Amino acid sequence: MEINRLLKKRQLNVQEQNAVTAHRLMTTAKFWRNAGLPVALVGYGESQGIDWAGSVVLELEVDFPGMPRLYGLILNQAERFIAFEIDTDIDHQCVETVERWEDVTSIQNHAVSQRGTGKGFAVIALQVRREISGS
């Protein structure tokens, strides 16, 4: 893959770093949109006001050892970043406990242009959400 070859040859410039981040977020968001989310996450999210058609999953780990069965980060339709940790049954159908469902928007990097790093994570994630949801 082109990105892996670039990483091995030299350090990426700011624009390339931003492109890698955007590609990773887009790939993750599209994967979960196409594969379908765990039923427990969908249901709990909806109970918290998540409109999945206008939201994207930026990170989702399933059954990672030592962690709740589902954890990750959502960018919702209102452009709020939601960090979550949810324990479910083994099939991810029913919520057993919610250890975290927190708006973490204020701690995201919203810089449009930052010396040395370019766009902040939040700016890139918002672009991905808008592209995927068409808004």
49's enclosing H/E stretch is none
- CA distances (Å), 12 to each of 22, 92, 111, in order? 14, 39, 19
Mean pLDDT of 74-101: 97
In the predicted model, what is the mean pLDDT of the chain? 90
Report the pLDDT value the prediction gives residue 59, as an integer from 0 to 100: 97
Does the pLDDT of residue 1 top 60, yes or no?
A: no
Local structure of residue 61 (DSSP, 8 states):
E
List the single range of 3-7, 93-97, 98-102 with lowest mean pLDDT.
3-7
- Cα 28 from chain centroid (whole Å): 7
Across the range 45-59, mean pLDDT stands at: 97
Question: At 6, is the pLDDT very low, low, confident or very high (cuts 50, 70, 90)?
Answer: low
**Mean pLDDT, residues 90-112 taken together:** 94
